[in-house]
């Protein structure tokens, strides 16, 4: 099967670029003595997760239970789920997953820990729980070292739980802030006999500076596998590092300067980037995707020296690769112009 045989809109992943991105991340981690625990939310494909493991990753990261289950189904055996898992239904699923793979999770509240402690009671096979720390990103996480210590103690006191360390999602561009936060917290834990085995950081934009957080033992980048306009806007990577494109057809040319693509917000998603427009058309890089309706992408061709015709197929680098993966049932993995595999995205559309 050739790219020309794929109908549009469709997602293409260039395996050569993907492999280069995977190797670069692992090489950085190896050079700096960090473990790499890639985040699979971007690709949701066990095949790519296995490629990451083969290159030396210590395990993988999943962002929701359904994603972790799909990875276990795909043969992955060491999964970190940095999410507060709450409620009996999800705790039961978590327990079942814990029987199948080496699993670790996080908590940032006593409520979450109490839920784990009630469901996991086997001291011979404890669930590893890290404490999520808000080191500046203002998302989840305990606010200071004293809160971290209190949670670590609660975890350590539960027979069926094991305190695994600290996890943070650093504020982009402020690795020093995360480092300072961790440096203030770790001695408190160590003083209580709870020195963290693992200190896990995440994020693609700063991944090639991850070692500046000297306290970290592992890093969890996600988007780096494909890259996108958002990452490039943040200063990570170049167009040649973008492995994901959306193959689309020009369905209308209403005026000399306007083209309409058959990829709208249900194919490219409405996520914005620190660059104008909704995607980069590889063949017409001067064009601006000015707006998206659900099945239409509006393109301003004014700056373009040459312009596409109706029926022409073009490839679009999206603003945010991770959410595009979540919009398609199948992803086309390509080598050059040849389709290597049409891979099913099994963990999209699932609850939880």
Residue 222 C-beta: closest distance to its own copies, Å: 9
Burial 183-214 (b: 16+ CB within 10 A, else e): eebbeebeeeebebebbbbbbbbbbbebbebe
Is residue 323 at the binding interface for its own copies, with CB under 8 A as the rule?
yes
What is the signed CA dihedral for 210, 214, 219, 225, rounded to 10 degrees? 20
Is residue 298 at the binding interface for its own copies, with CB under 8 A as the rule?
yes
Instruction: Report the distance separating Cα 159 and Cα 217, nearest Å.
Output: 26
Kindly indicate which of the ranges 171-179, 192-200, 202-210, 262-270 contains the residues binding its own copies, using the contact rule CB under 8 A: 262-270
Q: Where are the alpha helices (DSSP H) in the chain?
A: 15-31, 46-54, 65-73, 88-100, 110-119, 145-157, 175-191, 229-234, 321-325
Is residue 307 at the binding interface for its own copies, with CB under 8 A as the rule?
no
Applying CB under 8 A, among 75, 87, 214, 336 the residue interacting with its own copies is 87
Is residue 258 at the binding interface for its own copies, with CB under 8 A as the rule?
yes
Kindly indicate which of the ranges 94-102, 108-116, 188-196, 212-220 contains the residues binding its own copies, using the contact rule CB under 8 A: 108-116
Cis omega (within 30 of 0) on the bond before 235?
no
Is residue 26 at the binding interface for its own copies, with CB under 8 A as the rule?
no
DSSP 309: P
Residue 30 C-beta: closest distance to its own copies, Å: 28
Cβ-based neighbour number of residue 27 at 10 Å: 13
Residue 133 C-beta: closest distance to its own copies, Å: 10
Q: Which is nearer to its own copies, 3 or 211 (CB)?
A: 3
Is residue 171 at the binding interface for its own copies, with CB under 8 A as the rule?
no
Task: Give the contact letters, 177-216, x = binds to its own copies (CB under 8 A), - = no.
Answer: ----------------------------------------
């Amino acid at each position: 099967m050739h790219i020309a045989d794929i109908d549009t809109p469709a997602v293409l992943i260039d395996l050569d670029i993907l492999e280069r991105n995977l190797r670069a991340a692992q090489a950085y981690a190896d050079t700096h003595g960090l473990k790499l625990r890639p985040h699979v939310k971007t690709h949701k494909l066990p095949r790519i997760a296995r490629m990451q493991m083969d290159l030396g990753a210590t395990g993988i990261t999943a962002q929701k239970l359904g994603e972790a289950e799909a990875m276990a189904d795909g043969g992955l055996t060491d999964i970190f789920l940095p999410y507060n898992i709450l409620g009996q239904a999800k705790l039961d699923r978590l327990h079942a997953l814990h029987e199948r793979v080496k699993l670790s999770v996080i908590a940032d509240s006593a409520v979450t820990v109490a839920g784990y402690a009630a469901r996991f009671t086997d001291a011979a096979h404890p669930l590893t729980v890290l404490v999520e720390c808000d080191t500046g990103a203002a998302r989840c996480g305990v606010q200071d070292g004293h809160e971290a210590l209190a949670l670590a103690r609660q975890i350590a006191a539960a027979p069926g739980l094991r305190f695994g360390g600290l996890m943070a999602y650093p504020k982009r561009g402020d690795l020093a802030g995360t480092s300072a936060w961790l440096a203030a917290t770790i001695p408190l834990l160590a003083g209580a006999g709870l020195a963290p085995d693992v200190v896990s950081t995440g994020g693609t934009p700063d991944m090639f500076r991850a070692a500046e957080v000297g306290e970290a033992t592992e890093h969890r980048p996600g988007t780096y596998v494909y890259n996108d306009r958002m990452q490039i806007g943040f200063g990570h990577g170049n167009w040649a590092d973008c492995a994901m494109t959306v193959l689309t057809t020009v369905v209308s040319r209403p005026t000399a300067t306007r083209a309409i693509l058959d990829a709208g917000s249900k194919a490219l998603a409405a996520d914005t980037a620190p660059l104008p427009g909704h995607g980069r058309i590889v063949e017409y890089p001067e064009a601006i995707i000015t707006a998206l309706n659900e099945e239409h992408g509006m393109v301003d061709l004014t700056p373009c020296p040459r312009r596409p015709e109706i029926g022409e197929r073009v490839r679009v680098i999206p603003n945010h690769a991770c959410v595009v993966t979540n919009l398609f049932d199948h992803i086309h993995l390509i080598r050059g112009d040849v389709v290597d595999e049409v891979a099913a995205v099994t963990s999209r559309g699932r609850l939880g």
